[in-house]
Amino acid sequence: MQKEDVARLFTTPVDSPAYAPARYRFTNREYLNIYYRTDPEAVRRLVPEPLTVTDPIVRFEIMRMPDTTGLGDYTEAGQLIAVEHEGEKGEFNLAMYVDSVPAISSGREYSAYPKKSGSPTLYVDSDTLVGTLDYGTLRVATATMGYKHHAMDPAKARAQVCSPTFMVKTVPNYDGGLRVCDLVRTRITDVTVKSAYTAPARLELFAHAMAPLADLPVLEVVGAAHILTDLTLSPVEPVFDYLSA
């Protein structure tokens, strides 16, 4: 392999990349979103400056992705915290738990998604939409929602999917320090909402040292949505450099 060929690599191994070099297109990407109020002090401890917390609302999400270019079939779960940045409302992506190694690798390397391994599921149980998240052998989250009770305004569903998302991007240096430490922003803009519903919902979180979702306790469920979409992810852009601050 010539030096110029090495410089064109987007990831390793050199003979079998960990993920496909694609702009990922999702067909029938299905969301279960549960919005809940939590402890204000707990979210302020986790949200990095220069983001600010004006309302202690967390979105617990399960995303079922059965048809993704380059990545195939997988499921994710995570927590996002309502924030503002320079007057723009959005969400800070705290953590994502994913059952696909290529999706974890591409999300962390290519973008800045805070992904780690987990076992989420999303399925219909009789008249109930059920989302679960296991970490190892232990259950750390159970979400339930009535199945398709009330049609949701597509514009409101689109606003949920297209909310600006902020994340921390880090790249370690060889000396153990950081080469990159940025706050980045992304926003989905290419999306088709195929269906959207709301219904009563509940969420249980269970304490776990390595999957600490319960550190943001559920004080009150304030909303829920079941949304089916086709969409394409947008690239991230840096908005703050912590190493230069």
Beta-bridge partner residues of 223: 35
Torsion angle of C-alpha atoms 133, 47, 237, 223, degrees rounded to 10: 50
Residue that the structure tokens 């394409």 belong to = 232
**pLDDT attached to residue 112:** 96
Q: What is d(CA 125, CA 202) in angstroms, rounded to the nearest whole number?
A: 15
Q: What is the pLDDT of residues 183-195, one digit of tens each?
A: 999 999 999 999 9
Annotation marks residue 148 as catalytic: no
**pLDDT attached to residue 158:** 98
Q: What is d(CA 167, CA 130) in angstroms, rounded to the nearest whole number?
A: 27
Main-chain phi, psi angles of 167, to 5 degrees: -145, 160
Active-site residue, selected from the candidate residues 3, 89, 115, 156: 115
**pLDDT attached to residue 109:** 92
Strands 165-172 and 88-98: parallel
Q: How confident is the model at residue 23 (pLDDT cuts 50, 70, 90)?
A: confident
Mean pLDDT within 34-52: 98
- pTM tops 0.85: yes
**pLDDT attached to residue 135:** 98
Q: What is the mean pLDDT of the chain?
A: 97
Which two three-digit tokens encode residue 96?
A: 């994502």
Mean pLDDT within 195-216: 98
Q: How confident is the model at residue 22 (pLDDT cuts 50, 70, 90)?
A: confident
**pLDDT attached to residue 110:** 86
**pLDDT attached to residue 19:** 92
Mean pLDDT within 207-232: 98
CB 184 within 8 A of CB 242: no
% pLDDT > 90, the chain: 95
**pLDDT attached to residue 42:** 98
Q: What is the pLDDT of residues 85-137, one digit of tens each?
A: 999 999 999 999 999 999 999 999 989 999 999 999 999 999 999 999 999 99
**pLDDT attached to residue 76:** 98
**pLDDT attached to residue 115:** 98
**pLDDT attached to residue 21:** 84
Torsion angle of C-alpha atoms 90, 63, 118, 207, degrees rounded to 10: 60
Mean pLDDT within 142-165: 98
Mean pLDDT within 133-153: 98
Give 158's contacts (C-beta < 8 A, 6+ positions apart). Answer: 191, 193
